[in-house]
Amino acid sequence: MRDDFDARTKKVLADRVNSRCSRPDCGKATSGPQEDPTKALNIGVAAHITAASEGGPRYDPSLSSEERGSVDNGLWLCQNCAKLIDSDVQRYSPELLREWKRQAEQRAQDETRGIGQDQHAVDEEFVAFGLFDEKIRLLSLTKDGKWEYLDQMSKIHRILYVATSETLAMLAAVEELEALMNDPKASELAFQDFFERNPRFILNDEYKRAHSHITLVREEGPLIPDFLLEPIDQNALCDILELKLPSTKIFVLKKSRMRFSAAVFEACAQLREYSSYFDDKENRDLIHRTYRLMAYKPKMIVIIGRRGDVDPIAVRGIETDLPRLILRTYDDVLNRARARLEL
């Protein structure tokens, strides 16, 4: 049984935010004209802060059916943002969504009263420290003297504690990667470009630099691995990283046993070819002279596919099929980046 919003509730939700998406980074108008001069377009969604039915995102069993379908449990979003909040319920918690709602309604109120965007932005930026019970606490101040603690607020405010420009850039990058992963038209080149601009996603704690466009010269024609990863340790040997698309299937079921797909074996063969290049001392010397990089029997890392609903026991079982390959999915990369942001 789903406790959906009725038409009246949806209209109230839309009207309370001037028909704009409530996600602070979006704010897109959700209605407008259609080509047909007699019709209007509506891309708004009345999203549930806690799910309409059991098993749904952020479901709260303590609510009554009536409460679940009430204005109080609704949030007006554009279609994209409605999908986004259900894709990661850890990140988009009910508290965060309620904070979005509060801010969106505030913006709508200001807009209705004719308070300019600039003035509002200034209002939002007053942050102060106060000494309370011998503890320093972060406060948010408004122009009319109202204040509130920021340290007891929802996640969005807690970010303020660590919001260096670096973290903000990282947050933006996480969103960019997520969008790329969900874009079926994104090319391998787009991912290569992303990781070149945001090497932290592939460096983790082991490597200091990701080198792309390193040409392994040889008689049969050059090889160009996507990345050579240079370790932090001095004189340590580089490893090789290859990128495939997130849409690539990683597993196939063969004779009722899970196997790596042909695409994985292909990526592995490609990595082995790069790897064998460094078996030759002359080649190693050439790369060292040209790039000041050393490699020999490198680890072979491939970023490919999505984690999906795969049984981890089965995965571990077949990983022995390709012992030297380190396989990471795009979800793994994204989750690591997020985990680092939570610190």
Cβ nearer to Zn ion, comparing 28 with 211: 28
CB 155 within 8 A of CB 93: yes
Cβ nearer to Zn ion, comparing 98 with 340: 98
Cβ nearer to Zn ion, comparing 127 with 172: 172
Cβ nearer to Zn ion, comparing 58 with 137: 58
Cβ nearer to Zn ion, comparing 23 with 68: 23
Question: Taking the complex as a whole, how short is the minimal distance between the CB of residue 77 and Zn ion, in angstroms?
Answer: 5
Cβ nearer to Zn ion, comparing 78 with 295: 78
Cβ nearer to Zn ion, comparing 22 with 140: 22
Kind of pairing, strands 44-48 and 257-260? Answer: unpaired
CB 279 within 8 A of CB 285: no
Continuous H helices in 229-326: 262-277, 281-291, 312-319
Question: Taking the complex as a whole, how short is the minimal distance between the CB of residue 53 and Zn ion, in angstroms?
Answer: 24
Question: Taking the complex as a whole, how short is the minimal distance between the CB of residue 227 and Zn ion, in angstroms?
Answer: 34
Question: Taking the complex as a whole, how short is the minimal distance between the CB of residue 131 and Zn ion, in angstroms?
Answer: 39
Question: Taking the complex as a whole, how short is the minimal distance between the CB of residue 104 and Zn ion, in angstroms?
Answer: 10
Residues 303-333: b if buried by 16+ CB within 10 A, e if exposed = bbbbeeeeeeeebeebeeebeebebbbbeeb
| Dist CA 266 CA 242 (whole Å) | 11
| Dist CA 168 CA 324 (whole Å) | 36
Going by C-beta distance under 8 Å and a sequence separation of 6 or more, which residues neighbour residue 86? 47, 57, 92
| Dist CA 266 CA 306 (whole Å) | 17
| Dist CA 211 CA 17 (whole Å) | 47
Question: Taking the complex as a whole, how short is the minimal distance between the CB of residue 30 and Zn ion, in angstroms?
Answer: 8
Question: Taking the complex as a whole, how short is the minimal distance between the CB of residue 134 and Zn ion, in angstroms?
Answer: 43
CB 229 within 8 A of CB 223: no
Residues lying near Zn ion in the complex (CB under 5 A): 21, 23, 26, 28, 78, 81
Question: Taking the complex as a whole, how short is the minimal distance between the CB of residue 174 and Zn ion, in angstroms?
Answer: 17
Q: How far is CA 133 from CA 153, 158, 161, 184, in A?
A: 19, 20, 20, 54
Cβ nearer to Zn ion, comparing 20 with 299: 20
Cβ nearer to Zn ion, comparing 14 with 21: 21
**3-class secondary structure, 326:** strand
Residues 62-90: b if buried by 16+ CB within 10 A, e if exposed = ebeeeebbbeebbbbbbeebbebbeeeee
6: left (phi over 0), alpha (psi -120 to 50) or beta: beta
Question: Taking the complex as a whole, how short is the minimal distance between the CB of residue 82 and Zn ion, in angstroms?
Answer: 8
Count of beta carbons in the 10 Å neighbourhood of residue 275: 19
- Give CA 88 to chain center in angstroms: 9
